[in-house]
Chain A
């Protein structure tokens, strides 16, 4: 057999090949969960609490049941089990059982022949409440004597980091109090699912989610069904950003389908979506930084209070992250961080891109700038001087090893090309934009820089794994690799990562990534920037096993694999399933001093803004970023993650906040919750640092979260530089700029101390 030179493969690791799911998405042919339909399907709707804290004295469903088209109405009394659900604590009832703890908590569900009948019927359910005073200040919720919102009290999680000598003395000390507003993930695709009851008494759910198997666990427990009778298939996911890590309508949709014995689709509208999913934790932070005269950091002390809202969700891990990464990517020999997550009667909060690291980064980067000013150093010089280097320990006493180019990213970011001077002749390019409100008289330019870091993958001894099945077959004379995992494609591009890794590892052009489902074991969540590392790693491991079998088949013919067409070896297909784990991490101990994390991701951002100091309006002119990515599997896709993450960081800096009053969301619409548009987003200069991490597939570390961590503090630093204002909270509001308003929590405490000892200021 003659051997031709193998054809060059297209779309290997490192190439910016287009996404295979992009063409159907541009054509409107890609089916999202909200697009799914079945003959005779019913439409679900949810009755939600109107109160932040109340007892339910009566639920009257008679009128709703009598309405046209209504097939099923369910309340807590109708549930098959009394199991509660939750990602980390089982504290949330499937339907409110006697009490409600936030505005929007599900109280009843129903299904009708069409969506309008279902909506009208939901309005016809009469719930009688006995309202109680809502607890909406998380610091107040932690004080002795506060009403208990859950049986085990109001502390969801309490994390202390004690490193070196927390009482160490320093030449120069700066202090500050900071506040983060409540941000929403605002994925464009609404929560949606389609459930069908199966002949064996089980249920199949097509669902837009981040983690099929975690949904499966919570659904099967609450339904009282064995796991084998609950089958999940990923429906097209219109963005996630953390909001789809929690169960929203999953259990409800299955309950209705099982009760009606008909397919049931549930789709939240935008207003309901704001009530239906968890948000980013609002935070209050008290910080003190100490340094020697020459600018060497001596200590960081901080108290961080995160508002967990009515139910725990992933608050325990968010609290741990806020604490672990609370001193930033710097060498800090002494630290004391006390972070607490509190139950309140605000909307529940959980995962959002950056996951705890966002909140503390805003505070510690403001502190680093304050310290630089106090020392007479430039912000860049102070950061570079204290940047973590190989082998340095972060404040949890874990050494950073493998890839930690902190000084490099700060220096490179600071040196990226600057934007042109403000175009004074074009009012559209100025703050206020098409509002055409200034000719530039009060416009000042400022530049700020920030750096941040967080973990990749799950931490603190979590059994973190992903599973991949690779099946190599011959079709029409050519080798085709089918890759199945349960990893949720939520827009981030894990489909592309799996394709490019399989193509590269196998040397096979045609790779088909199948629809994720629960017939295979878990891939873990599409969160913590982990899918490239974990599912990419699982696909690589499965491909490596397939390749070993190919080599043996070639050897049986007296040939080397490189000398033979792979398709010729596939008289029988080859299939391998591999479960891939990262190296084990240690559980948290009382002072959080251990190797709790797998590896770290670093980024730096530099922002340039024009601020109209007369109106308080901000135009972000440019964001430049240098990010440590290990290795870019697909550079264009990586840049897409950076730009998209920066847009969300910009939103938190100057636009996005859920406005709450007495626990009630006041702006649950895209008219009132402002997302950055194309006019708000400046050009982004992206600089990728590629030092492959030895433990990651092809060295690729994961890229999703860092863009959202330090972009926000960089933009606010730029506004401070332009205005001289303190700006200790995000989002920055026009009156903060015009009047110099400073946010105060109303509580006094010494940074690092237990927030339960706070006193009224």
Chain B
């Protein structure tokens, strides 16, 4: 089926199968590979994107269901020259090792801080418990979120 997707502020037309996930279309057709595929069942958060401002696992959203909605991926957040404050905080805190989970954590952190600009430790842990990281043990990620919390989003 032919789909019109609003991705990162632009309109993209793609041909997709009815059962294809938003993640597959983002990665394989639109070349937006910042959203990662690590579990295909919504357990790891590596594919997190914002749809109409809501945090979702793009592997669990049909591409067709995202049509007409405002889709924001990690690629929309910042650039090499002008990183988003959350991205900068992850770099500065040493929260990145292999980095495969990082785009998902960055998006989830952006969503958290929009809803709750100054979260407590417990609130951060609960909000980010849907994102798996196998490298860091989460300590530096927690530190990164605290670093950026309260700064302008």
Q: Which residue of B lies closest to A634 (CB)?
A: B94
Whether the pair A646, B94 counts as a contact (CB closer than 8 A) is: no
Binary per-residue interface labels of chain B (112-142) against chain A in the complex, 1 for a CB within 8 Å, 0 otherwise? 0000000000101110111111111111111
Residues A410-433 near B (CB distance < 8 A):
426, 428-429
Q: Which of B44, B83, B132 contacts A26 (CB 8 A)?
A: B83
Residues A661-690 near B (CB distance < 8 A):
669-671, 675-679, 681, 683-684
Residues A1-55 near B (CB distance < 8 A):
16, 18-19, 21-32, 34-35, 37
Given contacts A23-B91, A646-B137, A684-B137, contact A670 B132 (CB under 8 A): yes
In the complex, A248 has a CB within 8 A of chain B: no
Residues A564-578 near B (CB distance < 8 A):
none
Q: Which of A269, A270, A491, A679 contacts B135 (CB 8 A)?
A: A491
Please measure, in the bound complex, the distance between the C-alpha atom of A267 and the C-alpha atom of B136, giving whole angstroms.
24
Please measure, in the bound complex, the distance between the C-alpha atom of A26 and the C-alpha atom of B106, giving whole angstroms.
7
Whether the pair B139, A239 counts as a contact (CB closer than 8 A) is: no
Q: Which residue of A lies closest to B76 (CB)?
A: A28
Residues B36-81 near A (CB distance < 8 A):
36-41, 43-44, 46, 73-75, 77-80
In the complex, A761 has a CB within 8 A of chain B: no
Whether the pair A269, B40 counts as a contact (CB closer than 8 A) is: yes
Q: Which residue of B lies closest to A645 (CB)?
A: B137
Q: Using Cβ atoms and an 8 Å threshold, which residues of chain A touch B87? A: 23, 26-27
Whether the pair A19, B138 counts as a contact (CB closer than 8 A) is: no
Whether the pair A678, B138 counts as a contact (CB closer than 8 A) is: yes
Q: Which of B17, B36, B97, B100 contacts A640 (CB 8 A)?
A: B97
Whether the pair B137, A189 counts as a contact (CB closer than 8 A) is: no
Whether the pair B136, A188 counts as a contact (CB closer than 8 A) is: no
Please measure, in the bound complex, the distance between the C-alpha atom of A29 and the C-alpha atom of B91, giving whole angstroms.
14
In the complex, A643 has a CB within 8 A of chain B: yes
Q: Which residue of B lies closest to A192 (CB)?
A: B37
Query: What is the predominant secondary structure among interface residues of chain A facing chain B?
Result: loop
Whether the pair A28, B80 counts as a contact (CB closer than 8 A) is: no
Please measure, in the bound complex, the distance between the C-alpha atom of A156 and the C-alpha atom of B99, giving whole angstroms.
36
In the complex, A493 has a CB within 8 A of chain B: yes
Please measure, in the bound complex, the distance between the C-alpha atom of A18 and the C-alpha atom of B93, giving whole angstroms.
8
Q: Using Cβ atoms and an 8 Å threshold, which residues of chain A touch B32? A: 28
Whether the pair A239, B98 counts as a contact (CB closer than 8 A) is: yes
Q: Which of A114, A237, A434 contacts B126 (CB 8 A)?
A: A434
Q: Give the interface residue-count category, chain B.
A: 35 or more
Q: Using Cβ atoms and an 8 Å threshold, which residues of chain B touch A428? A: 122, 126
Given contacts A18-B94, A643-B139, contact A27 B122 (CB under 8 A): no
Whether the pair B94, A640 counts as a contact (CB closer than 8 A) is: yes
Chain A's nearest CB lies how many Å from the CB of B37?
7
In the complex, A443 has a CB within 8 A of chain B: no
Binary per-residue interface labels of chain B (97-115) against chain A in the complex, 1 for a CB within 8 Å, 0 otherwise? 1111111001000000000
Whether the pair A270, B38 counts as a contact (CB closer than 8 A) is: yes
Whether the pair A188, B92 counts as a contact (CB closer than 8 A) is: no
Q: Which residue of B lies closest to A643 (CB)?
A: B137
Given contacts A19-B96, A645-B137, A679-B126, contact A27 B132 (CB under 8 A): no
Whether the pair B125, A670 counts as a contact (CB closer than 8 A) is: no
Most buried by A among B46, B78, B133: B133
Q: Which of B35, B73, B98, B139 contacts A189 (CB 8 A)?
A: B98
Q: Using Cβ atoms and an 8 Å threshold, which residues of chain B touch A644? A: 97, 134-137
Please measure, in the bound complex, the distance between the C-alpha atom of A270 and the C-alpha atom of B99, giving whole angstroms.
18
Given contacts A26-B83, A116-B17, A490-B98, contact A681 B137 (CB under 8 A): yes
Q: Using Cβ atoms and an 8 Å threshold, which residues of chain B touch A25? A: 96, 99, 102-103
Q: Which of A28, A34, A236, A643 contacts B138 (CB 8 A)?
A: A643
Given contacts A189-B100, A493-B97, contact A647 B92 (CB under 8 A): no
In the complex, A241 has a CB within 8 A of chain B: yes
Chain B's nearest CB lies how many Å from the CB of A431?
15
Please measure, in the bound complex, the distance between the C-alpha atom of A186 and the C-alpha atom of B43, giving whole angstroms.
13
Binary per-residue interface labels of chain A (224-265) against chain B in the complex, 1 for a CB within 8 Å, 0 otherwise? 000000000000111111000000000000000000000000
Q: Using Cβ atoms and an 8 Å threshold, which residues of chain A touch B78? A: 26-27
In the complex, A187 has a CB within 8 A of chain B: yes
In the complex, A492 has a CB within 8 A of chain B: yes
Chain A's nearest CB lies how many Å from the CB of B102?
5
Whether the pair B103, A28 counts as a contact (CB closer than 8 A) is: yes
In the complex, A637 has a CB within 8 A of chain B: yes
Whether the pair B136, A643 counts as a contact (CB closer than 8 A) is: yes
Whether the pair B35, A28 counts as a contact (CB closer than 8 A) is: yes
Please measure, in the bound complex, the distance between the C-alpha atom of A30 and the C-alpha atom of B87, giving whole angstroms.
13
In the complex, A636 has a CB within 8 A of chain B: yes
Chain B's nearest CB lies how many Å from the CB of A221?
29
Whether the pair A27, B80 counts as a contact (CB closer than 8 A) is: yes
Q: Which residue of A lies closest to B32 (CB)?
A: A28
Q: Which residue of B lies closest to A646 (CB)?
A: B137
Whether the pair B128, A678 counts as a contact (CB closer than 8 A) is: yes
In the complex, A190 has a CB within 8 A of chain B: yes
Chain B's nearest CB lies how many Å from the CB of A260?
19
Whether the pair B129, A679 counts as a contact (CB closer than 8 A) is: yes
Please measure, in the bound complex, the distance between the C-alpha atom of A669 and the C-alpha atom of B59, giving whole angstroms.
15
Given contacts A491-B99, A491-B135, A492-B97, contact A643 B140 (CB under 8 A): yes
Whether the pair A29, B34 counts as a contact (CB closer than 8 A) is: yes
Given contacts A34-B37, A35-B33, A188-B133, contact A238 B98 (CB under 8 A): yes
Whether the pair B43, A671 counts as a contact (CB closer than 8 A) is: yes
Please measure, in the bound complex, the distance between the C-alpha atom of A644 and the C-alpha atom of B136, giving whole angstroms.
4
Q: Which of A24, A429, A681 contacts B80 (CB 8 A)?
A: A24
Whether the pair A22, B99 counts as a contact (CB closer than 8 A) is: yes
Q: Which residue of A lies closest to B99 (CB)?
A: A25
Whether the pair A186, B134 counts as a contact (CB closer than 8 A) is: yes
Please measure, in the bound complex, the distance between the C-alpha atom of A533 and the C-alpha atom of B139, giving whole angstroms.
26
Please measure, in the bound complex, the distance between the C-alpha atom of A187 and the C-alpha atom of B122, giving whole angstroms.
26
Whether the pair A647, B100 counts as a contact (CB closer than 8 A) is: no
Please measure, in the bound complex, the distance between the C-alpha atom of A684 and the C-alpha atom of B41, giving whole angstroms.
30
Residues A128-166 near B (CB distance < 8 A):
none
Q: Which of A24, A188, A642 contacts B134 (CB 8 A)?
A: A188
Q: Using Cβ atoms and an 8 Å threshold, which residues of chain B touch A491? A: 97-100, 135
Q: Using Cβ atoms and an 8 Å threshold, which residues of chain A touch B129? A: 434, 677-679
Whether the pair B96, A26 counts as a contact (CB closer than 8 A) is: yes
Please measure, in the bound complex, the distance between the C-alpha atom of A32 and the C-alpha atom of B38, giving whole angstroms.
12
Q: Which residue of A lies closest to B145 (CB)?
A: A678
Most buried by B among A186, A491, A683: A491
Chain A's nearest CB lies how many Å from the CB of B63?
13
Please measure, in the bound complex, the distance between the C-alpha atom of A238 and the C-alpha atom of B135, giving whole angstroms.
9
Q: Which of A26, A114, A679 contacts B103 (CB 8 A)?
A: A26
Q: Which residue of B lies closest to A675 (CB)?
A: B132
Binary per-residue interface labels of chain B (18-44) against chain A in the complex, 1 for a CB within 8 Å, 0 otherwise? 000000000110011111111111011
Chain A's nearest CB lies how many Å from the CB of B93?
8
Please measure, in the bound complex, the distance between the C-alpha atom of A30 and the C-alpha atom of B90, giving whole angstroms.
15
Chain A's nearest CB lies how many Å from the CB of B44?
6
Chain B's nearest CB lies how many Å from the CB of A102?
23
Whether the pair A681, B139 counts as a contact (CB closer than 8 A) is: yes
Q: Which residue of B lies closest to A239 (CB)?
A: B98
Q: Using Cβ atoms and an 8 Å threshold, which residues of chain A touch B94? A: 16, 18-19, 636-637, 639-640
Chain A's nearest CB lies how many Å from the CB of B116?
15
Chain B's nearest CB lies how many Å from the CB of A28?
2
Please measure, in the bound complex, the distance between the C-alpha atom of A575 and the C-alpha atom of B139, giving whole angstroms.
40
Please measure, in the bound complex, the distance between the C-alpha atom of A4 and the C-alpha atom of B62, giving whole angstroms.
62
Please measure, in the bound complex, the distance between the C-alpha atom of A643 and the C-alpha atom of B100, giving whole angstroms.
17
Q: Which residue of A lies closest to B130 (CB)?
A: A677
Residues A631-664 near B (CB distance < 8 A):
636-637, 639-640, 642-648
Interchain residue pairs with CB less than 8 A apart (18): A28-B74, A29-B34, A32-B33, A35-B27, A188-B101, A189-B38, A429-B122, A493-B97, A640-B139, A644-B136, A646-B137, A648-B134, A669-B43, A670-B44, A676-B137, A678-B129, A683-B139, A684-B137
* Given A238-B98, A434-B126, 17 further pairs, Cβ under 8 A: A18-B94, A23-B80, A23-B83, A26-B74, A26-B102, A27-B77, A28-B35, A35-B33, A188-B44, A188-B100, A238-B99, A240-B98, A491-B98, A669-B43, A670-B39, A678-B138, A684-B137
List the 4 closest A-B pairs by CB distance, nearest first: A28-B34, A491-B98, A25-B99, A238-B100
